Amino acid sequence: MKVKITSSRVVKPEYSGGVAPTTGESVPLNVFDKVTYDVHIAVIYAFRPPNPPNAALERGLARALAVYREWAGRLGDGPDGRPAVLLSDAGARLVEATVDAPLARSMPFKPSPELLRMHPSIDGPVEELVCTSCLVLFAPSNCPNHAADRTTGVLFV
């Protein structure tokens, strides 16, 4: 399967009324966040058509990031020096890609190296949303386990 990335950009939160809150705030990690494994968890969700246009998905992502600011932030140290999610509004990466195969061949049980490229790098600073031309929407997600547990991550998607 050949994966071709057609665009890649950072989507920033879109606030209603155009007034953004201060970006100097942070949310400290709680005791459970601090003692959990320091790993990234990668998941791909596939949705059957009909899907909205990519521009509508991008607007929806921007609006969701305004409500769930932690997803547009970054892990770092808060003002007290303790680990925190910095509400920097740095944004989330939106990647659009096409593939040269139908869904049945695009979603094998064992992912190919090309399919793994659709996931955000665990070393990268941003999240990614990938739209493909095989008539489904893929929403891969890769975030530090410190930032969200499984339930919180699924609820965001």
Closest CA to 70 of 36, 104, 112, 26: 26
32-79 tens-digit pLDDT: 887 877 777 666 666 666 778 889 989 999 999 999 999 999 999 999
pLDDT band for position 155 (cuts 50, 70, 90): low
0.75 exceeded by the pTM?
no
The CATH H-level superfamily of 3-156 is Chloramphenicol acetyltransferase-like domain (3.30.559.10)
Residue whose structure tokens are 């920097």: 88
Tokens of 107: 């979603």
Q: Give residue 67's pLDDT.
A: 93
Q: Where are the domains of the chain?
A: 3-156
76-113 tens-digit pLDDT: 999 999 999 999 999 988 888 777 776 666 565 566 77
